[in-house]
Amino acid sequence: MSKSVTYEDRLRGFDWSIAERELEFREGEPLNIGWHCSDRICRQGKGDKPALLWEDHRGAEKRFTFDDVRQLSNTVAAFLQRLGVRPGERVCLFMDKIPELYIGFLGVLKMGGIVQPLFSAFGEDALLTRLENAQTTAIFTQRKHALKVRKILDKLPSLKHVVIVDAEPGKLQQREVAFDLERETRVDQFAVHATLRETPSVLHYTSGTTGMPKGAQHVHYSIVGQYLTSKWVLDLRDDDIYWCTADPGWVTGTSYGIIGPWSLGITQCVLDAGYSSERWYAFIQKHRVTVWYSAPTAIRLLMRDGTDVARRHDLSSLRHLASVGEPLNAEAVIWSEEAFGMPFHDTFWQTETGCIVITNFPGMKVKPGSMGRPFPGIEATVLDPRTYEPCASAGRVGLIALRPGWPSMIRAYWNNQTVYDSKFRNGWYLCGDRASIDQEGYFWFVGRDDDVINTGGHLVGPFEIESALLEHPAVAESAAVAKPDPVNMEVVKAFVALKPGHRGDDDLELEIMNFIRKKLSPLAMPQEIEFVDSLPKTRSGKIMRRVLRAREFNEPVGDLSTLMND
C-alpha cells in the first residue's frame, strides 16, 4: 500500500468486491485458484516473469517463470486425470519445500481435486490419522518420505496412488507410480475443471484440545481474501521479490506462500533448508528480497545471533517485514528496527480464517506488542467469556471473536459438523484465543483459551500426543501440556504415569521422546517428561491439563472447583 493511502481510507466504503473485480471474478462463473495463479497471470503478459526462485540446502537452484508454472501445473493436472483421480477427491502433498510442492498445489486444484498439504516431517501415525480422516485418494511424495507411507499403506484402502516425484527406476512398490515433473512432456493446454466459488479447494489439518486433528476445509473463493490481504497487508507490488519462510504443510505456506503472491503475479523465492542466520541473510542479499514474511520464533533466533551478522550482509533491498503465528513480542519489533531499520508488522490469523484478520497495516502506527487492528471487511471483537457478549470497556480481556462471512473463512471441518458448530456463539466465530482491545481499537494478544500448545508457531494438540503416548508399552496415562521456552515460546512437556513394573529413568525418558518423534513429528516430541504417580483429574475423571500447565508457567491455577466438576 502506498504510504498516502491510509488504513482509514481502506476502511471507507470497503467491500470484498474490490478484490473480485481485480481478480476478474463474476458471480456464477467458474473460479479456480490454480488457473487464477498461473494462466491468468500469463494472460496479463507476465508469462516470462519469474514466479519461483528456488534454492536448497546444498545450494542447488531452480527458476520457474509464470509460464513454466502454468504448463507444469497443467502437466500435474493431466497426470492425475490419467491416473483416474476425480474432481472432489483428496490429493495429499507430502514433500519438502521442493518446486513439485508449489506447482503440484496448483495442478491438483486445476483438475478439481482437493489439496491436502501435510508437513513432510510428520511421522507415520500423524500421517495415517490425516489420510484416513480425509479418505485421501493419491499422495505425492519423495523417496525419502515414501518409507513412512509404505508402513501404513495396508491401513489405507482408499489410497490408490502413491506418486514418487524422484523415483529410482525399477524400485517402485505396490500402488506406487513415478512422476518426474521436469522430464514429463509438458502440457500446454489443459481444460481446467470449472470449479465454482464454493467448491472445496484446500484441506489443512489443525489441532484442537479434544479429539484428533480436524481437516479445515477451504473453498476456491478464499483467493479473494488472500489476494487482497497480500496486496494491502504484505504490501506486495509488481516488482517485489517476496520471501515467505513458512512451509506449505501449514496454512501460512499456502495462503501466503502460494495463493496470495501468485494471484498477484509476484516473484517469490523459496529456501528449502533449515534455519541459519548466515544463510537467511545471504539469501535475502542474493535475491534482493523486498518483502519478508516470517515468524516470531525465527526473529528470536535471529536476535540471539545478534545484529552483527545482519550488518555483515547487504539487506538494503528489504522494504517491508511481517510476522505471524505467535505473539510478536515488543522486544522483537524494537530489535528489528535496530537491525533492519524497520519493524516487523504483526499479523494475526488462523488455519480457519484462511487469511490475515487482525494486523498492523503498512503506514499505520505500530504499537510494539500489539497485533494491530482488524482488516477492512473483518468485524472483530473480544467477548466476555461468561455471556459471549462483546466486552463493554477497553482493556478488558475476552475471547477473540469474528463475525462469520469473510471470503477465506473455512466452510467446514471435514466430516465433523459437531466441532465446527461448537466454534460459534451468539453469531460470532470464536478463535480460541484471548486478547484485549485498547481505546484506539488495537488488539493485544493474551494467550490461547484452550490446551493447544503453540511451539514455534505450530499448533500441537495434546490429545494426539497423549494418544500416541498410550501406545508405548510402559505408559499407563499421560498429559501433554505447554512449557515455556525462550525461543519457541512453548514446547511440549509430558506428564507420564507408568504401568507397574516400569521405572521412570533417563533411558525411558529418551525412549519415549523418540517414540513420539517418530510417530508424530519433531514438533510434537516432548522436550521433557516428568514421571508421576498419578495425574490431577476432575471428579468425572478428565485430566486437568490446566493445573499442570499453570505450574509450568508459574501462574495461578484458577478456580479448581469448576474444574473438579467438569
Q: Which residues of the shown chain bind ligand PRX in the complex (CB under 6 A)?
A: 206, 250-252, 324-328, 346-351, 371, 431-433, 445, 448, 454, 459
Residue 218's H or E segment, with its range, is strand 214-219
Q: Nearer to ligand PRX by C-beta: 287 or 549?
A: 549
The span from the CA of 510 to the CA of 526, in Å, is 10
Q: Nearer to ligand PRX by C-beta: 450 or 466?
A: 450
User: Least CB distance from residue 252 to ligand PRX, whole Å?
Assistant: 5
Q: Nearer to ligand PRX by C-beta: 137 or 297?
A: 297
Q: What is the dihedral of CA 547, 548, 549, 554, to 10 degrees?
A: 80
Q: Nearer to ligand PRX by C-beta: 181 or 523?
A: 523
The span from the CA of 252 to the CA of 255, in Å, is 5
Q: Nearer to ligand PRX by C-beta: 251 or 516?
A: 251
User: Least CB distance from residue 379 to ligand PRX, whole Å?
Assistant: 17
Q: Nearer to ligand PRX by C-beta: 81 or 297?
A: 297
Q: Where are the beta strands (DSSP E) in 441-552?
A: 443-448, 453-455, 458-460, 475-485, 489-498, 528-532
- Contact, 105 vs 115, CB < 8 A? yes
The span from the CA of 227 to the CA of 323, in Å, is 17
For cell 515433473, the residue is 181
Q: Nearer to ligand PRX by C-beta: 87 or 432?
A: 432
Return the C-alpha cell found at 259: 495463493
Return the C-alpha cell found at 491: 514446547
Beta strands 114-117 and 90-94: pairing type? Answer: parallel
One-letter identity of residue 203: L
Residues 6 or more apart whose CB falls under 8 angstroms from that of 286 comprise none
CB environment 200-228: b (16+ within 10 A), e (fewer): bbbbbbbbbeeebbbbbbbbbbbbbbbbb
User: Least CB distance from residue 328 to ligand PRX, whole Å?
Assistant: 6
Q: DSSP secondary structure string, 290-332?
A: -EEEE-HHHHHHHHHH-HHHHHTS--TT--EEEEESS---HHH
Q: Nearer to ligand PRX by C-beta: 25 or 406?
A: 406
Residue 510's H or E segment, with its range, is helix 506-519
DSSP code, position 186: P
User: Least CB distance from residue 360 to ligand PRX, whole Å?
Assistant: 10
Q: Nearer to ligand PRX by C-beta: 95 or 251?
A: 251
User: How far apart are the two ends of the chain, measured CA to CA in Å?
Assistant: 49
Q: Nearer to ligand PRX by C-beta: 35 or 348?
A: 348
User: Least CB distance from residue 547 to ligand PRX, whole Å?
Assistant: 21
User: Least CB distance from residue 351 to ligand PRX, whole Å?
Assistant: 3
For ligand PRX, the nearest residue by Cβ is 351
One-letter identity of residue 141: T
One-letter identity of residue 564: M
Return the C-alpha cell found at 68: 513454466
Q: Nearer to ligand PRX by C-beta: 188 or 438?
A: 438
User: Least CB distance from residue 406 to ligand PRX, whole Å?
Assistant: 14
User: Least CB distance from residue 504 to ligand PRX, whole Å?
Assistant: 32
User: Least CB distance from residue 480 to ligand PRX, whole Å?
Assistant: 17
Cα→Cα distances 220→12, 15, 192, 241, 389, Å: 27, 18, 13, 25, 32
User: Least CB distance from residue 87 to ligand PRX, whole Å?
Assistant: 27
User: Least CB distance from residue 352 to ligand PRX, whole Å?
Assistant: 6
Return the C-alpha cell found at 28: 456464477
- Contact, 322 vs 348, CB < 8 A? no
The span from the CA of 420 to the CA of 423, in Å, is 6
User: Least CB distance from residue 437 to ligand PRX, whole Å?
Assistant: 14
Q: Nearer to ligand PRX by C-beta: 54 or 344?
A: 344
Residue 425's H or E segment, with its range, is strand 424-425
